[in-house]
Amino acid sequence: KLKIDPNSKICKICNHINDSLVITECHMCLLSAHESCLEEPMRKSKKTKMICSGCFKEVSSRLTRICKICNVKTGKTISCSECNDYFHFKCLGNKPKNKLDAIICESCVIANKISKPKTYTKPDIFFANVSFKTFSTQCQELLKTLLDNKDAQPFIEPVDLTVPSYYDIIKKPMDFKTINKKIKNTKYKTVTQFYNDIIQIFENCHIYNDDNSKIGKSGIRLQKIFEKEWAKLCSTFSV
């Protein structure tokens, strides 16, 4: 009966123990195998430990990974879970909030926003569609209340054209400066038109920004203030 040394390693390719043949083990993936069973021989790493061809290719690949943002290949890189491009963590614009979150680069985030846009539910507020001219003063006071709030800052001016793919995602851009201009040029005929433009600002914010982002949170807080002030204004409308 064949006596097997309990310390002998089994070749993970042929699944046989043959003490007459040398079994080498990769120190990275712990693959143990007869040299004759391997398609490519193991190599010695810098620390004189053996490394299989698969791990060697992986290590070599890491050394040539170029950051998609800065185009530098030095330094540790991580890959996007969707497009498999590589980035330095410090270069990554869309950083994961915790270690368990998938790493998704900014380009893929934008692509997802275009292909799978978020939906926005308008506030369920009933009000009479009265003449804007009649309530122009009250509407302008409401607008001033919003503009005086620090959360209005991201929405005062039109979004810069350099913001990545903003105008590919947002089909109806709107901002408070444009609303003010429309008031001065008497473009609003009804309060509904004025209301819809302000709501458009919050809808655009929700669709483009993450709700937990700084701008996303500002939009949510400012909308709550608007809804409260609008409810007060609606009570003065006559049907």
Q: How many CB atoms lie within 10 A of CB 75?
A: 12
How far, CA to CA in Å, does 191 sit from each of 3, 59, 130? 93, 64, 6
Across the chain, which has 239 residues, the per-10-residue mean pLDDT values are 52 74 78 80 69 74 74 80 83 75 80 72 80 94 97 97 89 97 96 96 94 93 95 79
Domains annotated on the chain, with CATH: 1-63 (3.30.40.10), 65-105 (no CATH), 132-238 (1.20.920.10)
Contact 230, 206 (CB under 8 A): no
Q: Phi and psi dihedrals of 50, rounded to 5?
A: -80, 145
Token pair in block for residue 191: 């309060």
Q: Which amino acid is at 147?
A: L
Query: What's the DSSP call for residue 118?
Result: P
Q: Phi and psi dihedrals of 173, rounded to 5?
A: -60, 145
Q: Residue for token digits 């003065």? A: 236
pLDDT of residue 26: 81
Q: In angstroms, rounded to a whole number, what is the distance separating the alpha carbons of residues 224 and 204?
A: 16
